[in-house]
Structure 1
Amino acid sequence: MEAQGISQESMAERLGVTQGAVGHWLNGKREPKLEMINRLLAELGAPALSINLPDTVQAPDAAPLSSQRLYRYPVISWVTAGGWAEAVEPYPPGYSDTYELTDYKAKGPAFWLEVRGDSMTASAGRSIPEGTLILVDSGIQPTPGKLVLAKLPESNEATFKKLVEDSGQLFLKPLNPAYPLITMRQDARLLGTIVRANLKL
C-alpha cells in the first residue's frame, strides 16, 4: 500500500469496510478472513493466497492434495471485463461475490468469466460451449493462435475469440463457423489470454 500510495482510508473505501478495520489488520490486532485478504491483494494487483487442502479430501491413488497449491480468482461479468482495461485498478470495488479455485498461478491479475452464447462452440475440434468458465490471465501477452479476451470500441463488453493473423492483419476468429471473422482494429484492446476452461455440469 505504501509503495502504491494507497492510504488506509482509500483501501477501506475500496473494500467496503471501516478505516479502523484496515488499521487493525495492518498492525496485527485483528486477522481478516481469507476472502478479505484476497480482496485486498487483488486491489494491490498481487496474486491470491494459495490454499492447502487436507489430505483426507483426495481420490484413491491420487497425490495428496495438501501438496497442491490452489489459487482463488473472482468470477466477474462480461460488462465488468469489458471495462477492465479502462479501470485504474484491476477490479473495481464490489466486482465479485463469487470466486473459483484453480491450481493455475497467474502471471498477472486474473479473473473468471462464464461464456455466453455459442460463437465458440464447434462441432469438431476445440469447442468451448456456453456456460463454461474461462480463466483470463492479463499477465500473458495475447499472441496469434491463442484464445483471447478483447474489448472492441463499439461495445461496452468484452468478447472471447481466437486471435489469428493473416498477411500481417490480426483477426478475432469464432470457433463456430456460423459466425463471421472480426477484424482486430487498432483501437481494439486485448485484455488477456485464456489459460483455463472449466465446464460446469
Structure 2
Amino acid sequence: MTTLAQRMKIARSHAKLTQKQLAEKAGVEQPAISQLETGKSLKSAHIAAIAKACGVSAIWLDKGIGEMTDGAPGFDANVEPASGPFRYYEYPEISWVQAGMPVEAVEISNVALCEVHPSDAWAGPNGFWLKVKGPSMTSPNGMSFPEGMVILVAPGFDVESSQFVVAKMVDTNEATFKQFIWDSGRAFLKPLNPSFPTVEMDGEWVLVGRVVDAKWPRSAL
C-alpha cells in the first residue's frame, strides 16, 4: 500500500504540474503541497481540491482505495460522484511497555481491556494507539504533539525521512516517539522540542512503526 506522500507525488506527476502550479490550481498554499509530499502532514482538508486539480480520484488520493483515475467505462466526468459512507477503524490504546514488545507478545486478552479509539486512517491489522508522554515532541512552533495526545502507530509500514515513528532499543525494549530523519546514509530520531537531543539510530535501535494519525482522546476534550 502506498502512502499519502507517495500518492501525492504520483498524482502531481500524472498531472505534469510543479508544486507551485498544483497549489495555484487547487487553491492552496505551496507549503501545504510540500508538507503532504514529504509526509509532514498526514491528512488535509484540501484533498478533494488537489485530486480534482490532478485529475485523479479523491478516494484513491486520500486512502489509496480503487483506481487512480475515474476512467472506468461509463464514467461521466461531468457528474460529481456521490460521497460514500464515512469509514473508520478502531484500534486499542496500549502501554509503552507493550509497544516495545514483539507484536506476538502483546496478549489479546490484555489489549481487549484497553481503551479503543477510532480513526479514518488505516494502520494495518496490528495498529495501536499510544498516549504521548513527556515534552520531547512539544514544539514551540509548527507541528506539535503535546503530552496527553494519542498517536496511531502502524507497524510494518514503510518510513520516509521527516515522518514520525515509534522506535525501541533492542536491549531494553524501551520505546520512544520521534521524527525519523535520514541524512547522508544515516538515520536519526529527532525530537520536535529543541531542548532534547537528536539520537542517531545505530544497531541498538529498531523501528516499531510509523505514526499515521494523532489526536486528543475524547476524555481530554
TM-score normalized by the length of structure 2: 0.56
Q: Report SS of the residue matched to 1:119.
A: coil
- Whole-Å Cα distance in 2 between the matches of residues 94 and 68 of structure 1? 29
Where does structure 1 differ by over 4 angstroms across 4 or more consecutive aligned residues? 89-92
Which structure features the higher share of helix residues? 2
How far the C-alpha of 1:166 sits from its partner, in A, is: 2.1
How far the C-alpha of 1:134 sits from its partner, in A, is: 0.2
Paired position in structure 1 for 2:110: 94
- Whole-Å Cα distance in 1 between the matches of residues 127 and 103 of structure 2? 14
TM-score normalized by the length of structure 1: 0.61
How far the C-alpha of 1:171 sits from its partner, in A, is: 0.5
Amino acid at match of 2:195: A
In structure 2, the gaps of 5 or more residues are 1-82
In structure 1, the gaps of 5 or more residues are 1-64
State which drifts further: 189-198 or 95-104: 95-104
Aligned-residue CA RMSD (Å)? 2.2
Paired position in structure 2 for 1:178: 195
Matched, 1:146 2:163: yes
Percent pairwise identity: 41
How far the C-alpha of 1:104 sits from its partner, in A, is: 1.8
Q: Report SS of the residue matched to 1:94.
A: helix
Q: Report SS of the residue matched to 2:136.
A: coil
Q: Report SS of the residue matched to 2:118.
A: strand
Paired position in structure 1 for 2:85: 67
Whether the aligned pair in 1 keeps the contact of 2:98 and 2:106 (CA below 8 Å) is no
Whether the aligned pair in 2 keeps the contact of 1:110 and 1:136 (CA below 8 Å) is yes
Whether the aligned pair in 2 keeps the contact of 1:76 and 1:113 (CA below 8 Å) is yes
- Whole-Å Cα distance in 2 between the matches of residues 118 and 156 of structure 1? 21
How far the C-alpha of 1:142 sits from its partner, in A, is: 2.0
Query: How many residues are aligned here?
Result: 136
After superposition, residues 21-170 of structure 1 pair within 5 angstroms as 67-83=85-101, 86-88=102-104, 91-95=107-111, 96-170=113-187
